[in-house]
Structure 1
Amino acid sequence: MKQIFVKGVAMTALALGTLASAPARADDFSVTIVAGHPPVFRWVKHASQTFIPAVDAALEGTGHSITWSEQYGGSLAKVGDELEAVEEGLAEIGLVSSLFDPAKLSVQNVTYFTPFVSSDSTAVSTWMDNLQETNADMQAAWAENGLEYLGGGIGIDDYLLMTTFPVNSIADLDGRKIGAPGPAVNWLKGTGAVGVSGNLTTYYNEIKTGVYDGVIVFASAALPGKLHEVAPYITKVGFGAQYAGGLAANADWFDDLPPEVQAALKAGAKADAEAYQKDLDASVEKFLGIMQSQGATVTEVDQAFREQWAAGMDNVAKLWADQLDGEGKAGTAVLKAYMDTMRAAGATPVRNWDQE
């Protein structure tokens, strides 16, 4: 009887040892990715054409896989609602537009409160992507909303002014209704223009029907949106490149994933950022040329015009930073860090917002 007992214990131990040494169970994860903008816009196109294939490639050999459901163009969440869709678990991953969530992702919007700093979208988006990983206030903003930032910073090329009328001086804007995204409405203060908050999905019709006399927008989105058809006067003011958000996952869902899948998602986001920025850099001048060939008039203002525009504005960066400081967030510190980094990278701001 004793021999039988010992034999049974040995067999049990062998079985447990076999289980302990076995590889982790392979899983196929169903993942919904959401964006309010349609795939005609570059950041959504690359989510489909770069991010997803890069994640799939990174998962090869891990035993894990993902079945993707792509929900773009407002099919699951409108522009600005991506954060809530991911936070509430309607989607596992979203192209979260921090630009359109200025209350929940306030510190992420530092670039939109510092116009006329740099037209280098690669520098702006790369530094902002890095900041999400290193700055405690940036990290806290994502965590407070139940999100894990993956990367894939959406860099935006130098913003333009596109209007139904020619702009030869700032006085030409007096009384005109100009659409602008989120905090960029603040750029119009001091010009006499009436700033109206809007986004790319509505600009065309609002200009066509006379709701707006023009918009603040960027070339890489203006051509796909056909805005030059209704606002043929393109003025290169030099507002600067911006950071508008990135790829983020539901934090609870992300935390439960195997490490290999987590790593694959981060690797995919990095690949997405690199491909997106390369695509963007190659497109800006090309797109301006195409719009010009189709009847648009492209002009560029001189430095005196930029200085006059910047000098006429309130120091929106300081006001923004002070407000965040009052909320217990390090607005002033984030502002200084951003401006110092861009100056160190070679930027020559028209106005040093943090030093006034």
Structure 2
Amino acid sequence: MTFTAVALMTLLALPFKAHAESVDVTVVAGHPPVFLWVKTMSETFIPAVDMALEGSGTEIDWTEAYGGTLAKVGGELEAMEDGLAQVGIVSSLFEPSLLSLQNITYVTPFGPSDVKLVLETVDAMTNEIPGMRKMWEDLDLEYLGGGFGLEDYLLMTKFPVKSLDDLKGRKINAPGAAVNWLKDTGAVGVSGNLTTYYNDIKSGVAEGVIVFPTAAAAAKLHEVAPYVTKVHFGAQYAGGIVAKKSWYDEQSPDVQAALQAGAHAFARSYEANLTLRVTKAFSDFEAGNAHVTEFPEDVRREWANKLPNLAQDWAAEQDAKGLEGTRVLEAYVTHLKDAGVHLPRDWSAK
């Protein structure tokens, strides 16, 4: 027998190892990894997807595009629409028209402070109410879950706040829809964002801000607004993990299931780490000699009931567009009540 024949027989006798199919996936997020939702995509979502695919014969070759490398903040949806990314974390907060139903928490202030409850509620509603999932699908997006949110909003000011009278005539920064939380309170809402708050307050453009603790601590807002009032505006749903639907539908059941598993793992990790960061934020406030106080519950109730019915106005606007605004509002309030949440105002009541 020739050497070549022996070598061939030896090769054929070796165990056959199938070559794994590789799927190229680009993940997009406009924020940099310093933000928890992006950090969790990289450190939890991707490894969880890879783990779920072990032994399936398929592996994913990931490209991570964060912090403006592929899309600016709020531009993730367009990047996916253009086929530049297959998976992304899209902020419904920045899409008040295209994803209006997903912004239900921002029109129902003074809700629960429990981020986990808020995210699980909106995720459940996305599965229960066809119109909510359809909003994602109309944008060629498959909602995977893994909702990410912002912890219980509070008030930071240059002056102590113990009653609504303390807000009269005061200029308060607030992000987007949260400006409406100041209506009819006597305060003057000034639109702003995390990049402007510090200088606005320092320069006198504003005298305070509605903000969430982890962002406030990172921006050192307590240096210019040392009165930290835990008003408990509530935790907010801000968006979730999505895949480009036309791409997702072409993937194998193994890949689809792995992406879903990754989103589930993301949600659990995000919630746990957010709790740790919130604790650290309040430690930073105290270390910086900020005055942290609880808002009286009766004044919180007074504030909630002084506002125009933001939720009903929003629902009517959605209904007029042929969307399920009223159904979403009623479902959200019902879910919260079923979970034992006591709301200072029933936003579903007309």
The two structures have a TM-score, normalised by structure 2, of 0.89
How much has 1:337 moved relative to structure 2?
0.5
State the superposition RMSD in angstroms: 2.1
Instruction: Determine if contact 2:162/2:296 at 8 Å carries over to the other structure.
Output: no
Q: Which moved more, 1:150-159 or 1:188-197?
A: 188-197
Aligned pairs, how many? 335
Q: Which moved more, 1:166-175 or 1:249-258?
A: 166-175
What amino acid maps onto 1:280 in structure 2?
L
How much has 1:201 moved relative to structure 2?
4.3
Q: Distance in 1 between matches of 2:252 and 2:195?
A: 37
Match of 1:323 in 2: 317
How much has 1:192 moved relative to structure 2?
2.4
Would you say 1:127 and 2:121 are equivalent positions? Answer: yes
How much has 1:202 moved relative to structure 2?
4.2
Would you say 1:287 and 2:281 are equivalent positions? Answer: yes
Q: Distance in 1 between matches of 2:139 and 2:192?
A: 24
Which ranges of structure 2 fall in alignment gaps of 5 or more residues? 1-16
Residue number among 259, 265, 268 corresponding to 1:265 in the alignment: 259
Residues 225, 73 of structure 1: alpha-carbon distance in 2 compared, 3 angstrom cutoff:
farther
How much has 1:209 moved relative to structure 2?
4.5
- Cα displacement string for residues 203-232 of structure 1 (whole angstroms, at most 9, x for unaligned residues): 344444444332211113322333323332
Residue number among 44, 63, 87 corresponding to 1:69 in the alignment: 63
- Cα displacement string for residues 29-78 of structure 1 (whole angstroms, at most 9, x for unaligned residues): 22222222222221111111111111111121122222222222233222
Residue number among 26, 48, 55 corresponding to 1:32 in the alignment: 26
Would you say 1:217 and 2:211 are equivalent positions? Answer: yes
Residues 268, 304 of structure 1: alpha-carbon distance in 2 compared, 3 angstrom cutoff:
same
Q: Distance in 2 between matches of 1:163 and 1:138?
A: 36
- Cα displacement string for residues 140-167 of structure 1 (whole angstroms, at most 9, x for unaligned residues): 1101111111111113211111223332
SS in 2 for 1:239: strand
Q: Which moved more, 1:151-160 or 1:103-112?
A: 151-160
Match of 1:333 in 2: 327
Q: Distance in 2 between matches of 1:267 and 1:304?
A: 43
* Greater strand proportion: 2
Q: Distance in 1 between matches of 2:159 and 2:72?
A: 31
Q: Distance in 2 between matches of 1:142 and 1:319?
A: 23
The two structures have a TM-score, normalised by structure 1, of 0.88
Match of 1:148 in 2: 142
SS in 1 for 2:233: coil
Instruction: Determine if contact 2:30/2:76 at 8 Å carries over to the other structure.
Output: yes
What amino acid maps onto 1:74 in structure 2?
G
Match of 2:221 in 1: 227
- Give % identity: 56
What amino acid maps onto 2:73 in structure 1?
V
Would you say 1:241 and 2:232 are equivalent positions? Answer: no
Match of 2:190 in 1: 196
